[in-house]
Structure 1
Amino acid sequence: MIDRRLNRRQISVLALSGIGSLGLGLPAVGNAQGDAYPSRSIKFVVPFPPGSGTDTTARMFARKIGELAGQPVTVENKPGGNGFIGVQAVMNAPADGYTVFLGSNSTLSTNAATFKKLPYDPIADFAPITLLSRGPCLIVVPSNSPYRTLNDLIVAARKRPGALNYASGSVSYTLYTEWLNELAKIKTTAINTKGAGEAINVTMAGTVDFSVVDASGAVELLKGGRLHALAYTAPERTPLLPDVPTSAEAGMPGYLAYNWVAAAVPTKTPPGAVKRLAALFEQAGASAEIKDYYSRQSTTLLMTGATEMRKYQIDEIARWKRLAATTGLELL
């Protein structure tokens, strides 16, 4: 059980890294050794393979922050083990600000609700920097599916509890779909796949009845007619798929499932380095290049700062823990 109360050190880190205290163009600050930070290359650790949404975000910010800091920023992919390999790489590195974790909802929230014994604490072990981006999901079915609306799917599922199945690319997607099941008062069966990409593939092939998937990975397939979308899990439609209804329009208000990416460092990182990193991320997020990129995506640039990121994490963990308990989800 994660203790949501913050200790004095965590509060100190949050206060130092919140965006309210930041200004663009802050001078370099000293690290624990007294050197100007950053005085050498910074490494972003991503717990997913190259090409993933988290990886793409990490590389965009690495390039821009490298320009702003005048030091190389590299991206190191450490996929596997439900994100544990990437987390461990960061935890084993010196807590000096030169190793930054670029994680997602799975490593920073849903893992806390789905594992009996998580080998790390996403709250206590990390000092938040900022929530970078957030992207909605899509509820999709095979292109030739008889279910043309979300209501069609729900009606069929209610008639045959447990008969319809869905592909789950990760524990996060299992939680998202079980949340849908709870709201719709239906029971469907999870078919686990080796990642989000395979979940999309088996849905296209008709091996499963439906799936909740990351919108960014499915847009082009929908445009090409290889999938059919029942709902977009955001308050407003996306111009990329103007004919796809929102969850509310499809009859499921409140179902707002998001994938998100955030930056954090080990809790013991010197506050000066955390503050400088936060300023660099804020400057990068304000750049024309990054703003322009996100204006063309289904993913939204957020740049919340540390305090809002921590609150969002805590709220997400509470939601998923409640859902795991009420749905009887088997913990890993």
Structure 2
Amino acid sequence: MIKFFKVLLLTASCGLPAFAQAAGFPQRPVEVVITSTPGSTSDVLTRLIGKDFAETTGQPLVVVSKASASGLVGSSQVARARPDGYTLLLGGNTTMAANVHLFKSLPYDPLKDLAPVTLATVNPLLLVVRSDLPVKSVQDLIDYAKKHPGELNYGAGNSGGKVSVALLKSLAGIDATEVPYKGASQAALDLVAGRLQFMIVDPVVVDSFVKEGKLRPLAVTTKERLDSMPDLPTMEEAGVKGYEYASWLGYFAPRGTPDEVITSLHDALVKALNSKEATDYFERMGMIRKTTTPTDLTTFVQDQIATWGKLVNIADLQPQ
């Protein structure tokens, strides 16, 4: 999985496309449907690049939050939307890959109903605990969980939060209870409030809590350490052999959107994602920018669907 990310990074770095605007597009704001709550990575990211997008196209990006279980509502809404380029989905591993394996029947088809525009980011996740929990390392958490079987609660606001912890439980042989949320930011608030003991989450969601000392990061989920947190070990370095996980985000339009409109959206979004403001933000948050062509994103999603089949099997999750 990570090797594929690296190939995309090399592809994206070969050159930035010039912005090519389809005739008459856009003439009004472009709505971006996110399937998480306000304050989530999807929300912050889209608002961040919205300024540059507006400068390029003359129209703003408007974030529309449709938080729901596994993103079914927002994804279905965009899949059914008019294919004119004015409604986009900021999809990711949950909506575009995991749901294929986590649901017996989906109200949309990620490959048939949605048209790729560009990948945006690959996001290593953080394993974090409440700062008042007597846990200073991943091994401490494993030992604590084994001493208190079934007593630990963790929050999951999306499939990433669900599967990343399920993978930890499987590989480390621990027991803990999942508490589902509509979004990771809500789960993080409950973690700080003491209703949960730990979670695995996007760095941006818990950044302020970590800086305030309310949450303690224990490890990063990827095979490589984060440049922004060089002293934080990977899960494998911390003793969980074979552990590797990263989430991702990308922009999608309804299938049937004209090619010239897809090109306009792609060029404007890639330009915004490569802006200095976005670059500084990604570095600060430990996020990895990865932009692609629509064709490469199609291949990436197909690869991710296959990868998630393996992850769901390892985590022993049954489709609903």
TMscore range, shorter length: 0.7 to 0.9
Which of 130, 136, 140 pairs up with 1:142?
130
Which of 28, 50, 54 pairs up with 1:66?
54
The SS at the match of 2:106 is coil
Change (3 A) 1:63 1:187: same
TM-score, L = length of structure 1: 0.81
- Whole-Å Cα distance in 2 between the matches of residues 203 and 72 of structure 1? 34
Return the letter of the residue paired with 1:295: E
Change (3 A) 1:250 1:100: same
**1:124 matches 2:112:** yes
What is the aligned partner in structure 2 of residue 28 from structure 1?
21
What is the aligned partner in structure 2 of residue 110 from structure 1?
98
Change (3 A) 1:320 1:39: same
Cα distance, 1:265 vs structure 2: 0.8
Task: Give ranges in structure 1 of 5+ residues lacking alignment.
Answer: 1-17, 30-34
Kindly tell me the number of residue pairs found equivalent between the two proteins.
Answer: 310
Cα root mean square deviation, aligned: 2.9
**1:304 matches 2:320:** no
Contact conserved, 1:19 with 1:306, CA < 8 A, in 2? no
Contact conserved, 1:46 with 1:58, CA < 8 A, in 2? no
| Percent of aligned pairs with the same amino acid | 34
- Whole-Å Cα distance in 2 between the matches of residues 125 and 200 of structure 1? 32
**1:49 matches 2:42:** no
- Whole-Å Cα distance in 1 between the matches of residues 319 and 233 of structure 2? 33
Deviations 1:21-53 (A, max 9, x none): 986334433xxxxx5433444322223333221
Higher Cα Rg, which structure: 1
Q: Which deviates more, 48-57 or 190-199? A: 190-199
Which of 276, 299, 304 pairs up with 1:288?
276
TM-score, L = length of structure 2: 0.83
- Whole-Å Cα distance in 2 between the matches of residues 46 and 164 of structure 1? 30
Q: Which deviates more, 128-137 or 67-76? A: 67-76
Residue pairs, 1:1-332, within 5 angstroms: 24-29=17-22, 35-157=23-145, 162=150, 164-238=152-226, 240-252=228-240, 254-332=242-320
Cα distance, 1:269 vs structure 2: 1.1
Deviations 1:70-104 (A, max 9, x none): 33443333333532222233233211222222223
Task: Give ranges in structure 2 of 5+ residues lacking alignment.
Answer: 1-10
Deviations 1:289-309 (A, max 9, x none): 322332222222211333333
Cα distance, 1:264 vs structure 2: 0.8
